[in-house]
Amino acid sequence: MFETLTDKLQGAFDKLARKGRLNEKDVDEGLREVRIALLEADVNFKVVKEFIAKVRERAVGAEVMRSLTPAQQMRKIVYEELIALLGKPAKIDLSGQPPHVVMLIGLQGSGKTTTAAKLGLHLRKQGQRPLLVAADIRRPAAVQQLEILGKELDLAVHSEGTSVAPPQICANALRRAKESAYGVVIVDTQGRLHVDEQLMVELEQMKGQAAPSEILLVADAMTGQDAVSVAQEFHQHVGLTGLILTKMDGDARGGAALSMRSVTGVPIKFLGVGEKPGDLEGFYPDRLASRILGMGDPLTLVEKAQEVFDPEQALKMEEKLRTASFTLEDFMEQLRQVKKMGPLSQIMDMIPGLSGLAGQIPEGETDRQLVKIEAMISSMTPAERHDPGVIGGSRKRRIADGSGTTVQEVNQLLGQFRQVQKMMRQVSRGRTPDLLSMFR
């Protein structure tokens, strides 16, 4: 089984019990696990090396706080250092004279065009009047892509087809923005390799024409070790002012963020969390740190749950619980709701202690489980559904036969149901449910 960093650290420190200080040997033992966790999260090798050295310096000889075990103390230091390295979130710079020009640059397919539309929407919500600029004349239909997005969102798009050179398009767009009082100009550029000298020169020319106040590197959260050289090259050529990490809605740990941040020193400004124009989020260093370390992301989980669970229905459920009328049918309904939060694997990834386990569950497995559960419950009589207590050995056999499952699976279901009942009771008493218990 894939362990989380927390478990691993715990393992590494178990032998030591409580001690007053972290000694060199203990620290190195713990840091080996940290190193692996970071590399597995795609943090660049050299960045990991530097980071470990820094943590080591702070950890060796550090006092173990009375309330903490050595493993917890170690984790605390790692976590804090990671948050510090990730830096503070930052907004788009809108100081100075408008129009403010924001240039989006990056490798091919990283999400620049989609992000241009997202940013346009975001800035308009803040009372700005944005103009999107279609300056990618290379990728087939890139201009149309931005035009369609602009139309859908009712955002103005400046496009000149594919025969005018991008620096010229920038100059023209800037003139238009001044004339028509667009406060923000968002330039969508062509994807380019950081080692493509010719296109880097073009980028410098665009910068010259557009005089941007922001040059944001749009990078894929799934990027591996190469994130360092990509960020470094772009930064050297045009001077980045910030980073946007896209496709964070997947299960990538996002270590590239740390790599890029550490070689450029510029802030992470946004995270892309989906394909829709509204899928742009602020960056929270603590959440990202947890995610990179494989410590789960409980806050996002809570947010997701809030999105999906209908408060009215929750009230009804609560009522049922208080009156002890929560049945297996309600249980089914609950499972369906949880499913709406996304694949179980993804949900598990956000739960500390379970993250990392997700990859072990074959895709579709949870769905198959749900089908089975549905079959078992429909094979029960109404009386059994309302009071599973009456289900004894022979009834279990009948239910198993009727649903094409096994007695063992019926037992499992009944056990899970009891867990949920327990959990629901906790909720109705105003406590946070122990979600973990559901999966044990």
Residues forming the site for another protein (CB under 8 A) = 36, 39-42, 44-45, 107-111, 138-142, 144-149, 152, 193-195, 220, 222-226, 229-230, 247, 249-253, 255-256, 275, 339, 342-343, 345-346, 359, 362-364, 367
Beta-strand relationship, 214-220 and 100-105: parallel
How far apart are alpha carbons 217 and 27 in whole angstroms? 36
How far apart are alpha carbons 410 and 328 in whole angstroms? 12
Cβ of residue 95: shortest distance to ligand GDP, in angstroms?
27
Residue 251 binds: one of ligand GDP, another protein, Mg ion, none (C-beta under 5 to 8 A by kind): another protein
Residue 279 binds: one of ligand GDP, another protein, Mg ion, none (C-beta under 5 to 8 A by kind): ligand GDP
Q: Which is nearer to ligand GDP, 111 or 130 (CB)?
A: 111
Size of the site for Mg ion (CB under 5 A): 3
Q: Are 380 and 373 in contact (CB under 8 A)?
A: no
When asked if residue 379 is in the footprint of Mg ion (CB under 5 A), the reply is no
Residue linked to tokens 């494989």: 294
Cβ of residue 234: shortest distance to ligand GDP, in angstroms?
13
> What part of residues 187-206 is at the interface with ligand GDP (CB under 6 A)?
191, 193
Tokens (6 digits) for 335: 């499972």
Cβ of residue 138: shortest distance to ligand GDP, in angstroms?
7
**Closest residue to ligand GDP using C-beta atoms:** 272
Strands (E), 159-220: 184-189, 214-220
When asked if residue 28 is in the footprint of ligand GDP (CB under 6 A), the reply is no
How far apart are alpha carbons 374 and 210 in whole angstroms? 59
**Residue from 249, 286, 318, 329 that binds ligand GDP (CB under 6 A)?**
249
> What part of residues 98-117 is at the interface with Mg ion (CB under 5 A)?
112-113
Torsion sign (Cα): 73, 76, 80, 85: positive
Stretch that binds ligand GDP, among 19-27, 112-120, 251-259, 416-424 (CB under 6 A): 112-120
State residue 25 phi and psi, 5-degree precision. Answer: -65, -45
Residue 273 binds: one of Mg ion, another protein, ligand GDP, none (C-beta under 5 to 8 A by kind): ligand GDP
Q: Which is nearer to Mg ion, 187 or 424 (CB)?
A: 187
Q: Which is nearer to another protein, 295 or 400 (CB)?
A: 295
Q: Which is nearer to another protein, 272 or 388 (CB)?
A: 272
State residue 133 phi and psi, 5-degree precision. Answer: -120, 120
When asked if residue 318 is in the footprint of ligand GDP (CB under 6 A), the reply is no
List all residues 6 or more positions away from 350 whose beta carbon is below 8 Å from its beta carbon. 296, 297, 298, 300, 301, 304
How far apart are alpha carbons 39 and 225 in whole angstroms? 9
When asked if residue 343 is in the footprint of ligand GDP (CB under 6 A), the reply is no
286, 283, 262: which is closest to 272 by C-alpha?
Answer: 283
How far apart are alpha carbons 137 and 157 in whole angstroms? 14
Q: Are 244 and 281 in contact (CB under 8 A)?
A: no
How far apart are alpha carbons 251 and 202 in whole angstroms? 35
Cβ of residue 353: shortest distance to ligand GDP, in angstroms?
26
Cβ of residue 235: shortest distance to Mg ion, in angstroms?
21
How far apart are alpha carbons 249 and 247 in whole angstroms? 5
Residues at the site binding Mg ion, with contacts judged by CB under 5 A: 112-113, 142
Residues at the site binding ligand GDP, with contacts judged by CB under 6 A: 108-114, 139, 191, 193, 246-247, 249, 272-275, 279
